[in-house]
Structure 1
């Protein structure tokens, strides 16, 4: 049985899952669907065509499903989908999509979104991510699984962040970050591999050595980057992580690749 505080406003048409608690002064729009066993502690706003999975905990003043912050938006019926098991802390904002961006903002399972973090319109965010305080995504950003984005960092629109990336604090991320990458600095530069994260994903010492050798050859070897990239293609067979990085680079469309500082090639 759901528990709804008498001060909460639930519009007709909203769907509230079994065992969900809606706390004081929450506002739930008519097109919202909230899964089972969620907790909206107080003062949470869920608007638009928003679907939230089971077992999410949402803190005060989170605003989910608001209109995209895009000047072209004209009130179209676009969506926000949030997976199960997410923790959404105070003041977090997540916007619905735009028609030109596909109409959907999607957030995966088991994310931890610290206070005042933001997921912009048409973003796709993977599973098991952590957004620290005020981590911000512009529109159309793609974020892979097991990504950590540090506090006060902002990601430029249309940028891709591969799986298992770590972004340091106070970074402006303007280029695509390879899977397993570690980026840092005011304008984020690639500093190496996220070795701690890779160990947590059970990479053996042998695999780490193989991927490190590939990384050094690709990003710090002789010649210009395009030549090194071409020469590194046969290494895809050496480890699935290497193949994933090379595929990610090859799929780039909108933004340049985030490279080590000083490597403009």
Structure 2
């Protein structure tokens, strides 16, 4: 299962059925879960933990030291959940002690070719990062987030659950849950309606979110005024509560 040209450090911990392709290098303090396939010419540096059924394609660099100039060799980490796919040439860096000390990806994420995931990023489940997406350090992505090719996200930005960014977007502010953005600088262009319908959101939930979007983006209100209006509603569906929470969590201001 391990190609004879691969270099696997004796201190690495690989499940018995892990496959490692030609010329790949796996260092100490690396743990790889069962059912994983590591392609050729992959470099994995620890401390790094990869969950079950991870698939990494050629020339990816996983768990390397971060590019933050404050980093001084501390034993920070990279942790991935299960069923993640890392395509060709992607780079995933470990965290820094100035933040959580760990870069984290959840489950079932698709990281396409030449994507960069910077230090201390926190990525949820079922996200799609298309080719050449760049996440600066300290970026947070909610579940089911989608970033189109060449999109770039500024450090410390939050990108909400079920939100979507078009290709080439330059994102310097927080993106609320369910919102679709595009452009340089990125601007909001409605809800990610296609994505919500594909994921089985009810008509009632989508109507509630559409009405809430209009309050935030169409009535000329400040964010504080819009939040007050939304929070005055009684018996709000859970989807609306998620939208409100993403607005309240913003520290950089929301994309408008």
1:239 paired with 2:237, answer yes
1:237 Cα deviation from its structure 2 partner: 3.1
TM-score, normalised with respect to structure 2: 0.97
What corresponds to 2:55 in structure 1?
57
Are the structure 2 counterparts of residues 49 and 204 from structure 1 closer, same or farther at C-alpha, using a change threshold of 3 Å? same
After the TM superposition, which residues 1-265 of structure 1 pair with which residues of structure 2 at under 5 Å, given as runs?
A: 3-235=1-233, 237-253=235-251, 255-259=252-256
CA distance in 2, matches of 1:186, 1:77: 36
CA distance 1:48–1:180, shift in 2 (3 Å): same
Task: Please give the alpha-carbon distance, in whole angstroms, between the structure 2 residues aligned to 1:83 and 1:228.
Answer: 36
TM-superposition CA deviations, 1:183-228 (whole Å, max 9, x none): 0112111111111111122112222122211211221014444323
Separation in 1 of the partners of 2:153 and 2:220? Answer: 30
Is 1:219–1:225's contact at 8 Å kept on the other side of the alignment? no
Could you tell which deviates more after superposition, 78-87 or 240-249? 240-249
What is the TM-score of this pair, normalised by structure 1? 0.93
What's the secondary structure of 1:76's corresponding residue? coil
- The SS at the match of 1:105 is strand
SS of the counterpart of 2:242? Answer: helix
Give the whole-Å Cα distance in 2 for the aligned partners of 1:14 and 1:134.
29
Determine the C-alpha separation between the residues in 1 that align with 2:246 and 2:233.
14
Partners of 2:209 and 2:234 in 1: CA distance:
10
CA contact (8 A) 1:17 1:34 kept: yes
Are the equivalent residues in 2 in contact too, given 1:31–1:49 (CA < 8 A)? yes
- Contact 1:214/1:235 (8 A) holds in 2: no
Q: Is the 8 A contact 2:122 2:138 kept in 1?
A: yes
Question: Aligned-pair distance for 1:62?
Answer: 0.4
8 Å CA contact 1:146–1:165 kept in 2: the answer is yes
Q: Give unpaired runs (5+ residues) of structure 2.
A: none
CA contact (8 A) 1:218 1:225 kept: yes
SS in 2 for 1:122: coil
Residue 236 of structure 1, CA deviation: 6.5
CA separation of 1:46 and 1:222: change in aligned 2, threshold 3 A: closer
Q: CA RMSD in A?
A: 1.2
